[in-house]
Amino acid sequence: MPVVPPQPGAGRPGPPDLAASDPAPPRRTAFAEGVDRLRAAATTEPGRLRVIGALLALLVVAFGAVTAWQMTDRTAAADDVLHKSQPLTSAAADIYRSLADANTAASSGFLAGGQETAASRDRYEADIDTAAAKLVTAAANSDPGSPAAATIAKLNTLLPEYKGLVERARTYNRQGFPVGGAYLRYANEKMQHEMLPAAQDLYTKENRRLSDDYAKATPYPWAAIALGVLVLAALAWAQHRNYRRTNRVLNHGLVAATATATVVLLWLVVGHTVARAELTDSYDHGVRSLNVLHDARIASLKARGNENLTLVARGAETVKVGTEQVDAYDHDFTEDMDALGKGLAAAEKLADDKNGAEPVTSAVANMTEWKKRHTAARDQDENGNYQQALDQVIGGKGATGECFDSVDTNLAHAITHEQSEFRQAAGDGLGAMTGLPLGAAVLAVLGATGAVLGIGRRLSEYR
């Protein structure tokens, strides 16, 4: 049997089996390694100083950023109150007033028949033009697709329809056809049941948006205030620590950071407190009064329109009150006058100075005289003296129209005064916040720089 020679390397141990060896430990993440380095560095004083400097700078920058963010929102809301939502609320009220006054002027002109005055016609045309112009303004400032935009589009459709009905009523009335009265009543129904409710809805929506803007502008920025207090506490602790280790009273960088943080915090608290007080004043002594006065003026316009239509309809429209059938327009007139009285009483309570109270007091006296003259005119009409009743309503001196004009003029003066007070207070509120977002951001950067330089000065002692 042949002998096989041994092979090279036979009997020697082979290379190790890598598959059978222990697995290599997993590679650590960069974050974990960074934490370990930070922990190791924090065991030395220079490392602790670097950590403290970084945290102080971060806190100061965060304080400035949060202050700028919160005050930017509040400043924008205050600007909307002054330049957008309140003017749009007033525009919506003007739309309602113009439509209601146009309806009143149309009925007055109809009652005058062929003797319609140029002043009455001009008043009607001016009211229609004002309503159209205010609708254009409201449409330009409303959000596309919003409920307010839909209401404005509806009014823009109804306005020419109403004008057409009024013109037909006038044409037939000049020719002596009784159908003219039917057209005017139809126009009034379109105004009372479609256009004025839509205008009221627009006014309500804009008033709600105004309230929302106030709600955004007035809350205290608690997050920024709390962060500012935390920053000052951290800076005080860092300076106390520095004093204990070096026996040095002041660190210029940390003092500068403390000063900037203090300025920002005081500016924030004082500025927003002043702004909040002024905005609250603009609401309590401006918006609330304006809302009451607008409602009172609208009530007087509706009352005048129903007073005229009582003579136009001549008993053709009735409503059941209790067990009796009464003239529908005269019944509505009574309700409108009650609303006017309540509105004027509320306006008198809200008036806070002589210039605001005097026109309201005069309007109350005008309303009282209006009621007396209206009662006398109704007595004439019910006794069959239609012409005498007509003269007492649309005639010259001594007519109810004279009282209505005085009420409307005095309410217009009161609204102008309250509008001025609103602008003054709201403007002061906005001014108290102006510059705060940008100023806080700039001072925060300077404060963070001071904190870093102050800590850097201490670190230079270890080199």
Nearest to 163 by CA among 137, 182, 186, 181: 186
Q: How many whole angstroms separate alpha carbon 168 and alpha carbon 165?
A: 5
Compute, in degrees rounded to 10, the torsion defined by CA atoms 380, 382, 383, 389.
20
Which residues are CB-contacts of 428 (< 8 A; sequence separation ≥ 6)?
A: 274, 278
Per-residue pLDDT, averaged over 201-214, amounts to 89
Q: How many whole angstroms separate alpha carbon 388 and alpha carbon 311?
A: 11
Contact indicator for 446, 57 with CB cutoff of 8 Å? no
The residues facing 326 across adjacent strands are 319
pLDDT digits (tens, 9 = 90+) for 410-429: 999 999 999 999 999 999 99
The residues facing 327 across adjacent strands are 318
Question: pLDDT tier at 1 (50, 70, 90 boundaries)?
Answer: very low
Q: How many whole angstroms separate alpha carbon 192 and alpha carbon 165?
A: 14
Q: How many whole angstroms separate alpha carbon 150 and alpha carbon 155?
A: 9
At residue 54's C-alpha, the angle toward residues 48 and 60, to 5°, is 135
Question: pLDDT tier at 345 (50, 70, 90 boundaries)?
Answer: very high
Does residue 315 surpass a pLDDT of 70? no
User: What pLDDT is stored for residue 217 in this prediction?
Assistant: 92
Q: Give the residue ranges of DSSP H helices in 247-284.
A: 252-282
* Residue 351 host element (H or E): none
Lowest mean pLDDT among 8-17, 60-69, 425-434: 8-17
The tokens describing 244, both together, are 């204990």
Per-residue pLDDT, averaged over 196-221, amounts to 90
Which residues are CB-contacts of 382 (< 8 A; sequence separation ≥ 6)?
A: none
Q: Are strands 324-327 and 318-321 parallel, antiparallel or unpaired?
A: antiparallel
At residue 26's C-alpha, the angle toward residues 25 and 28, to 5°, is 120
pLDDT digits (tens, 9 = 90+) for 253-305: 889 999 999 999 999 999 999 999 999 999 988 899 999 999 999 899 889 88
Q: How many whole angstroms separate alpha carbon 459 and alpha carbon 463?
A: 7
SS3 321: strand
Q: How many whole angstroms separate alpha carbon 347 and alpha carbon 417?
A: 12
pLDDT digits (tens, 9 = 90+) for 142-178: 778 888 888 999 999 999 999 898 888 877 777 777 7
Which residues are CB-contacts of 292 (< 8 A; sequence separation ≥ 6)?
A: 343, 346, 347, 350
Helices 288-313 and 354-382: angle between axes, nearest 10 degrees: 10
| Cβ-count burial 252-264 (b if 16+ within 10 Å, e if not) | ebbebbbebbbeb
Look up tokens 């005081």; give the residue: 266
Look up tokens 């963070």; give the residue: 448
Does residue 31 surpass a pLDDT of 70? no
Helix, strand, coil content of the chain in percent (nearest 5): 85, 0, 15
Q: How many whole angstroms separate alpha carbon 48 and alpha carbon 269?
A: 33
Written as one string, the DSSP assignment of 20-34 is GSPPPPPPPPHHHHH
pLDDT digits (tens, 9 = 90+) for 70-128: 999 999 999 999 988 888 888 888 899 899 888 878 777 777 665 567 777 888 889 99
SS3 192: helix
Which residues are CB-contacts of 294 (< 8 A; sequence separation ≥ 6)?
A: 90, 93, 96, 97, 203, 415
Q: How many whole angstroms separate alpha carbon 298 and alpha carbon 151?
A: 19
Which residues are CB-contacts of 320 (< 8 A; sequence separation ≥ 6)?
A: 326
* Residue 319 host element (H or E): strand 318-321
pTM reported for the whole predicted model: 0.77
**Amino acid letter, 458:** R
